[in-house]
Amino acid sequence: MRQKQFDKKSEEYKNLLSEINDLNSKIKLEKLQFDEEKNSKYAIPYSYYASLTTSIKYYEVLYDVDLVVHIRGSKEVLDTVEKNIYNLTSLGRSEDFVEIKEVKFVNIYEDNPNDIEFMYNSGYVPTDAIEQETIFLKDIFKEITEKIEARGTNYYINKNYEIQDGKRKFKKYRVGYLSEYKIDFDELKEYNKSTDKNIYLDEDGYIVSLV
């Protein structure tokens, strides 16, 4: 049945026009629902794999690394970290999985009143602490010298940043990456007075380098 068969002023024409409008509305609604479901179930999920390739790729992944991180902040910030740290599943990149073994508050010292034994590890130390000989290497040649001048690999590491023109602009710090190093406690207090990049010894024997 066609609209042209009826007079536009007739009831039949008006009823038919109403039915056509209802059908068009239903079609538009169903198409909208279809598009939304298509996006949510197919288009958006599959878009995450749009950049996948079948070629061979190589990535450096952290594995079997024991990482000790000291955090300085307000009590509110530290309490928040302590309560939520076990929600952390990766460090930086998503492929660098982490397993949190322990989180706790520790005491730190500018001297070593309890003769705490050093935990010899590798770490980042402010370059000026090395240059001022506040930090030196483990005394493995005691019969030759009292302490060995520290030498390591120099880096600039990112820390604080500001948003400028919609981008993060980091403040960079000069550090040296060292292995098996110690603190010269005779020099430490003077060094800490001269800078905000303080160095301490914690109650477990780890050197705390607050870059």
Same structural domain for residues 42 and 119? Answer: no
Range of the domain at 65: 61-105
Same structural domain for residues 33 and 114? Answer: no
Answer for the pair 1, 15: CB distance below 8 angstroms, yes or no. no
Burial class for 62, CB neighbours closer than 10 Å (0-12, 13-18, 19+): middle
Same structural domain for residues 130 and 100? Answer: no
Neighbours of 136 (CB within 10 A): 20
pLDDT at 5: 64
- The span from the CA of 135 to the CA of 155, in Å, is 17
Same structural domain for residues 203 and 152? Answer: yes
Same structural domain for residues 191 and 122? Answer: yes
Same structural domain for residues 203 and 117? Answer: yes
pLDDT tens for the chain, 211 residues: list them.
555 666 667 777 778 788 888 888 899 999 988 888 888 887 877 777 766 666 777 777 778 888 999 999 899 999 999 999 999 888 878 888 889 999 999 999 998 878 888 888 899 999 999 888 888 887 654 544 566 677 789 999 998 899 999 899 999 999 999 988 888 888 898 899 888 889 999 999 999 998 8
pLDDT at 147: 63
Quick check: is 54 in a domain?
no
Same structural domain for residues 115 and 205? Answer: yes
CA-based Rg of the chain, rounded to a whole angstrom?
33
Quick check: is 52 in a domain?
no
Stated pTM of the model: 0.63
Distance of CA 15 to the CA centre of its chain: 65
pLDDT at 146: 60
For residue 173, what are the CA distances in angstroms to 15, 117, 155, 194? 78, 29, 8, 16
Same structural domain for residues 74 and 120? Answer: no
What is the edge-to-edge ordering of all strands in the sheet holding 207-209? Answer: 108-109, 199-202, 207-209
Of the candidates 142, 146, 143, 126, the one whose C-alpha atom is nearest the C-alpha of residue 188 is 126
Quick check: is 89 in a domain?
yes
pLDDT at 52: 64
Quick check: is 55 in a domain?
no
Same structural domain for residues 87 and 166? Answer: no
Answer for the pair 210, 72: CB distance below 8 angstroms, yes or no. yes
Domain end point (choices 39, 71, 105):
105
Of the candidates 195, 204, 190, the one whose C-alpha atom is nearest the C-alpha of residue 121 is 204
